[in-house]
Amino acid sequence: MPREFDLIVYGATGFTGRLVAEYFALTYPGDVAPKWAMAGRSLSKLEEVRAEMGVPASIPLITANSDDPASLRAMCERATVVISTVGPYQLYGSDLVAACAATGTAYVDLCGEPAWMREMIDAHEAEAKATGARIVFSCGFDSIPFDLGVLTLQEAAKARFGAPAPRVKCRVRTMKGGFSGGTAASLKATLAALARKPSLAALLTNPFALTPGHSGPHQPSGLIPEYDPTIAAWVAPFVMAPINTKNVHRTNFLLGQPYGADFVYDEMVVAGLGDIGKAAADALAKFNPLSADKGPKPGEGPSREERDSGYYDILFVGLTEDGARIDTVVTGDRDPGYGSTSKMLAESALCLVENVQGYGGVWTPGALMGAKLRERLVAKAGMTFVAG
């Protein structure tokens, strides 16, 4: 049965949620607008944000509180897709995923919290399959550019070599942007959960944490700076790798291992060449941008100027057993975490409304939406995917 709204942006008063609302208002106005609404826990704050972000006053406002499962269920029943930017997800997200799974409502979010994702897979995958709820975590910078980057490379490898590349190296060449209070809070929530339950360390460091019942070959840790002869440069640990690599392996798992059962994947940041590159790699390995208490507070994040001047460029190198190489490059305009992420999240939700049906379950963006999502991101969201 068609529902009252195609999309509900839940968390529309937060730093990222308001950017998603602005994106819908600017990119899909008037006749091309989906049926959408803004939701949050405070009606007065929603009214303020709707006016501030230039969203038409005709866009309905819905109140729902993460502490009140009945309000979450009532919201889910009105939507084809709920977009959630209410995080940290491990603190505020569980009842919403439960409500989506129970009501057969599609769900997209920006989660980069793998222990919670695994908990949700174990708790709700069976019910989501039964009700047809398409639950898709990590529809932002973690992990779409990486998930679709590997997918794109493997399509090209199959076309050129007749087989996937068993080894793929992801190397983040440039990235300019900042962090928000919600992201800082999510990292702190994960560290607090780890302090309470040290056994979570095994899951957080397991590249196959999101592929229940399945593991694969040994994977590089990505934790030690090293010289990478493939790109003739020094590389350093990448802060998003622990979540992206798990999602990439889950895509391979959900799709029946199109990347091969022996697939090996890592992600690192390119630090530079020669001695300067080595020194930069060592410094990057020690740098934690979210460690200081003076980090951003909930609701805060990079300014519009910082978002507009941001960008990223990510190289994927596929290597075959007989030494052949194939590259793919993914780029995005705007800063990765917010300007680009808000577009990726919005287009993922629209992709579920307009392009992709598929089965219920707990999915990755690459496994459920793959090439359809990539087309939308290139057409609308300032991203490029070039295989060659």
Q: Are strands 5-10 and 36-40 parallel, antiparallel or unpaired?
A: parallel
CA distance linking residue 355 with residue 79, whole number of Å: 17
**Residue 146 touches ligand NAP, criterion: CB under 6 A:** no
Question: Within 10 Å of residue 13's Cβ, how many Cβ atoms?
Answer: 24
In the complex, the smallest distance separating the C-beta of residue 95 from ligand NAP, rounded to whole angstroms, is 10
In the complex, the smallest distance separating the C-beta of residue 339 from ligand NAP, rounded to whole angstroms, is 10
Q: Which is nearer to ligand NAP, 226 or 333 (CB)?
A: 333
- 234 and 277 in contact (C-beta within 8 Å)? yes
**Residue 252 touches ligand NAP, criterion: CB under 6 A:** no
The window from 15-23, 162-170, 302-310, 379-387 that contacts ligand NAP (CB under 6 A) reads: 15-23
The window from 161-169, 174-182, 219-227, 378-386 that contacts ligand NAP (CB under 6 A) reads: 174-182
**Residue 301 touches ligand NAP, criterion: CB under 6 A:** yes
- 165 and 144 in contact (C-beta within 8 Å)? no
- 113 and 194 in contact (C-beta within 8 Å)? no
Give the residue from 123, 96, 220, 114 showing the smallest Cα distance to 167.
220
**Residue 190 touches ligand NAP, criterion: CB under 6 A:** no
Q: Which is nearer to ligand NAP, 29 or 299 (CB)?
A: 299
Q: Which is nearer to ligand NAP, 52 or 262 (CB)?
A: 52
Element (H, E) at 55: none
Helix, strand, coil proportions of the chain in percent (round to 5)? Answer: 45, 20, 35
Q: Which is nearer to ligand NAP, 146 or 234 (CB)?
A: 146
The window from 11-19, 126-134, 204-212, 363-371 that contacts ligand NAP (CB under 6 A) reads: 11-19
Which position among 222, 295, 332, 337 is part of the footprint of ligand NAP (CB under 6 A)? 337
Distances (CA, A) of 91 to 5, 121, 187, 366: 26, 16, 12, 26
In the complex, the smallest distance separating the C-beta of residue 148 from ligand NAP, rounded to whole angstroms, is 14
Please, which of residues 106-125 interact with ligand NAP by CB under 6 A?
A: 110, 112
Which position among 154, 211, 245, 341 is part of the footprint of ligand NAP (CB under 6 A)? 341
Structure tokens at 62: 């819905």
The window from 190-198, 225-233, 267-275, 298-306 that contacts ligand NAP (CB under 6 A) reads: 298-306
**Residue 340 touches ligand NAP, criterion: CB under 6 A:** no
Q: Where are the beta strands (DSSP E) in the chain?
A: 5-10, 36-40, 61-63, 79-84, 106-109, 134-136, 167-176, 226-228, 233-237, 264-272, 311-319, 325-333, 361-363, 383-387
CA distance linking residue 287 with residue 294, whole number of Å: 15
The residues, ordered by sequence, that sit 6+ positions from 165 with a Cβ below 8 Å of its Cβ are 153, 154, 157, 259, 318, 319, 320, 326
In the complex, the smallest distance separating the C-beta of residue 185 from ligand NAP, rounded to whole angstroms, is 6
- What is the binding site for ligand NAP (CB under 6 A)? 11, 13-17, 40-42, 45, 65-67, 85-89, 92, 110, 112, 140-142, 180-183, 186, 298-299, 301, 337-338, 341
